[in-house]
C-alpha cells in the first residue's frame, strides 16, 4: 500500500483528470511525423509510408477509424458503511468497490454526479453534503456533518464508474489500416497484439469517459523495447558474477519498499525480485541461487538504517522488523536496493544516506546494485504528461552516485521513460494509478537488473 505520510498528502482535487493528457510540442511532433491525427471520435491514418521502429509500413489507402468510448459500469445498491473519516485522497473514507484497482480505488474512474445513497433499497435518498460526503476523484464516501445515519448503519450506494482501454492501429499485408479494440480495464489496460499478417503502427489510449480522441492519446510505435537506451551498468559486480559462473552458491537480498514486496503483481512469482531470480537461474543453471525478499510497504531506506530516529508506521522496529539488521543477518553476496519512497530525498541527502548504505553493504563483504525507481503518478514527480524526460533530483543523484563510486546501477527509470516511444502511456502500467506497477512494470525492473550480469 502507498505510505500514509503526514503533511504530504496526495492532491485531493486534481486527480479527476489524472489520465487527461495535456498538449505539448514533443507529442504533437511525434503524431504529425507518424501522420495519424484525431478527428472527433475517429483517428485518421493517411496513405503512404509509416516508420515503425525503423521499419517502413505502407498504407495503401487513407482510413478513418472510429474509436468507441470505454465502457461505463453501473453499480446498483452496493451495501456500504459510511466512514467517520472525511473522504480525502486515496487513504480516507469508505471505498466504492466498483472503482477499486487492486489495493486502492482508481483515481478518476468514479463518474462525478452519479452517486445515490439510500438508507434502504428503494428508500428515500440521503442528501450529499449533509448525510454523506464524497471524494469525486477517488470514489470514497463518508459521513456528512448532519447525517441521519451512523457509521454502524449499512446503506446502499448506486453509482457509475468508467474504465480505460488501449486500442491498436494495425496495417495488413495489402496495406489496409484498421483499429483493433483492446479489453477495458479499471486502471491498467493492455493494447491487443496485431492480427496475424498485420503490423501494429500505433496505439490509442481511450481515457475515462472520453467521447473524442485528442492528439496526445495517439501513441505511434517509434521504437522497440530493445532500442531503449538506459544507464544500467554491466561489469560492476565482479565477485557475484565470478561465483555464478563457477556454479557456486550465491545469496541475493532484494531490499526495498512495497514495489519490491510485490504490489501490484498478480501473483508472487511475477514480482520483480522473483522474475529477476528466475532469469538468473536460467542463465546460470549450475549456480545455487538463493533470493531473499526483505521489504516493507511504505518504507524508506532511512527507516531501515535509523529505525529509532525514523520510525516505520510510528511503531518500534522490534514490532515491524524494519531494521538494517535483517539485511546483515541474511549474509548476502549481493544486495539490490529499490526505494521509490526515497524519491523525495535531495541530492545532498542521497550522498549522505547512500554512502552509509554502501559502507554497510561492503562491510558485509557484499556487492550492491542500486535501482532507479519507476515512474509514478504525474503530480508525485512534478510532471504534466506521459512523454516527459526524467528530471527527478533523486534519480539524477543516484545515477551520479553509482558512477562516482563505481556501483552497479539498474536504470529502471530510463526504461519507464522510454515507454511512450513503444506506444505505451506509462500510467497504464500503474495498477493502482499511483505507484504500484502491474506485471509488465515489474518485469521492466528485472530486465534492467539482468543487464548488470553481462
Q: Residue 102: pLDDT band by 50, 70, 90 thresholds?
A: confident
Q: What is the mean pLDDT of residues 88-94?
A: 92
How many C-beta atoms surround the C-beta of residue 262 within 10 A? 22
Same domain, 260 and 283: yes
At residue 5, the pLDDT reads: 37
pLDDT tens profile 263-287: 999 999 999 999 999 999 999 999 9
Task: Give the distance, in angstroms, between the CA of residue 115 and the centroid of all CA atoms in the same chain.
Answer: 28
Structural domain includes residue 436:
yes
Specify the pLDDT at position 18: 40
- Measured CA distances, 12 to 9, 18, 45, 107, 349 (Å): 8, 11, 39, 10, 29
**Domain co-membership, 237 together with 188:** no
343 and 201 fall within a common domain: no
Reported in sequence order, the residue ranges of 345-387 that DSSP labels E, i.e. its strands, are 367-371
Residue 261 has pLDDT above 90, yes or no: yes
Q: In the prediction, which pLDDT does 379 show?
A: 84
Residue 32 has pLDDT above 60, yes or no: no
Identify the CA nearest to 447 among candidates 280, 257, 307, 211: 280
1 domain-assigned: no
Instruction: Verify that 134 and 250 share a domain, yes or no.
Output: no
Q: Please give the biggest Cα pair distance in the chain.
A: 74
Contacts of 25 (CB under 8 A, 6+ apart): none
Q: Which residues of 96-108 are buried (b: 16+ CB within 10 A; e: fewer)?
A: bebbbbbbbbbbb
Of 114, 136, 162, the residue that ends a domain is: 162
Instruction: Summarize pLDDT for 406-449 with one digit per residue, the tens.
Output: 999 999 999 999 999 999 999 999 999 999 999 999 999 999 99
Q: Within a domain: residue 269?
A: yes
Instruction: Tell me whether residue 335 is in a domain.
Output: yes
* One domain for residues 158 and 79: yes
277 shares a domain with 139: no
Q: Is residue 242 part of a domain?
A: yes
Task: State whether 93 and 241 are in the same domain.
Answer: no
Domain count, the chain: 3
Are residues 215 and 258 located together in one domain of the fold?
Answer: no
How far from the centroid of its chain's Cα atoms is residue 267's Cα? Answer: 16
| 220-237: pLDDT as tens digits | 999 999 999 999 999 999
Q: Domain range holding 278?
A: 226-451
**pLDDT confidence band for 22 (50 / 70 / 90):** very low
Q: Is residue 10 part of a domain?
A: no
pLDDT per position as a tens digit, 45-69: 999 999 998 899 999 999 999 999 9
The answer to whether residue 341 scores a pLDDT higher than 50 is yes
Q: What is the three-class DSSP state of 361?
A: helix
| Residues 258, 349 share a domain | yes
Q: Tell me: pLDDT of 352 over 50.
A: yes
In a domain, 333, yes or no: yes
Percent of the chain with pLDDT over 90: 89
Q: Do 179 and 281 reside in the same domain of the chain? A: no
**7: in domain:** no
- The answer to whether the pTM exceeds 0.75 is yes
- With bands split at pLDDT 50, 70 and 90, how would you rate the model's confidence at 26? very low
428 and 281 in a common domain: yes
pLDDT on residue 252: 98
* Domain match, 254 and 365 both: yes
CATH at 283: 3.40.50.1110
Amino acid at each position: 500500500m502507498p505510505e500514509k505520510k503526514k503533511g504530504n498528502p496526495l492532491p485531493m482535487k486534481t486527480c479527476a483528470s489524472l489520465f487527461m493528457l495535456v498538449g505539448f510540442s514533443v507529442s504533437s511532433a511525434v503524431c504529425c511525423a507518424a501522420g495519424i491525427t484525431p478527428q472527433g471520435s475517429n483517428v485518421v491514418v493517411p496513405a503512404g509510408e509509416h516508420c515503425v521502429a525503423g521499419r517502413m509500413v505502407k498504407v495503401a489507402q487513407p482510413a478513418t477509424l472510429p474509436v468507441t468510448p470505454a465502457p461505463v459500469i453501473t453499480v446498483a445498491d452496493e451495501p456500504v458503511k459510511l466512514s467517520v473519516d472525511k473522504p480525502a485522497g486515496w487513504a480516507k473514507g469508505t471505498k466504492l468497490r466498483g472503482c477499486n484497482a487492486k489495493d486502492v480505488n482508481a483515481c478518476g474512474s468514479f463518474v462525478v454526479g452519479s452517486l445515490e445513497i439510500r438508507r434502504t433499497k428503494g428508500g428515500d435518498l440521503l442528501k450529499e453534503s449533509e448525510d454523506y460526503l464524497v471524494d469525486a476523484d477517488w470514489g470514497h464516501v463518508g459521513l456528512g456533518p448532519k447525517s441521519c445515519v451512523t457509521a454502524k448503519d449499512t446503506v446502499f450506494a448506486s453509482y457509475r464508474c468508467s474504465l480505460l482501454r488501449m486500442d491498436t492501429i494495425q496495417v495488413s499485408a495489402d496495406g489496409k489500416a484498421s483499429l483493433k479494440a483492446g479489453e477495458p480495464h479499471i486502471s491498467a489496460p493492455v493494447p491487443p497484439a496485431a492480427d496475424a499478417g498485420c503490423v501494429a503502427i500505433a496505439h490509442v489510449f481511450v481515457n475515462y469517459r472520453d467521447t473524442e480522441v485528442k492528439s496526445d492519446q495517439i501513441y505511434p510505435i517509434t521504437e522497440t523495447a530493445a532500442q531503449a537506451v538506459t544507464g544500467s551498468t554491466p561489469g560492476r559486480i565482479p565477485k557475484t558474477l565470478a561465483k555464478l559462473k563457477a556454479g557456486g552458491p550465491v545469496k541475493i537480498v532484494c531490499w526495498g519498499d512495497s514495489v519490491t514486496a510485490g504490489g501490484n503483481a498478480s501473483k508472487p512469482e511475477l514480482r520483480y525480485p522473483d522474475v529477476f531470480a528466475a532469469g538468473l537461474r536460467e542463465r546460470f543453471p549450475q549456480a545455487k541461487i538463493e533470493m531473499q525478499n526483505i521489504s516493507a510497504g511504505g518504507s524508506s531506506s532511512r527507516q531501515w538504517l535509523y529505525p529509532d530516529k525514523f520510525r516505520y508506521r510510528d511503531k518500534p522496529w522490534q514490532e515491524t522488523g524494519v531494521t538494517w539488521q535483517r539485511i546483515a543477518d541474511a549474509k548476502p553476496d549481493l544486495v539490490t536496493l529499490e526505494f521509490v519512497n526515497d524519491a523525495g530525498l535531495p541530492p545532498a541527502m542521497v550522498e549522505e544516506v547512500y554512502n552509509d548504505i554502501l559502507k554497510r553493504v561492503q562491510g558485509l563483504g557484499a556487492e550492491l546494485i542500486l535501482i532507479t525507481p519507476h515512474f509514478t503518478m504525474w503530480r508525485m514527480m512534478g510532471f504534466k504528461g506521459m512523454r516527459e524526460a526524467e528530471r527527478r533530483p533523486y534519480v539524477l543523484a543516484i545515477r551520479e552516485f553509482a558512477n562516482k563510486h563505481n556501483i552497479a546501477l539498474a536504470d529502471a527509470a530510463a526504461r519507464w521513460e522510454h515507454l511512450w516511444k513503444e506506444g505505451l502511456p506509462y500510467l497504464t502500467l500503474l495498477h493502482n494509478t499511483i505507484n504500484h506497477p502491474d506485471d509488465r512494470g515489474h518485469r521492466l525492473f528485472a530486465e534492467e537488473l539482468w543487464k548488470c550480469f553481462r
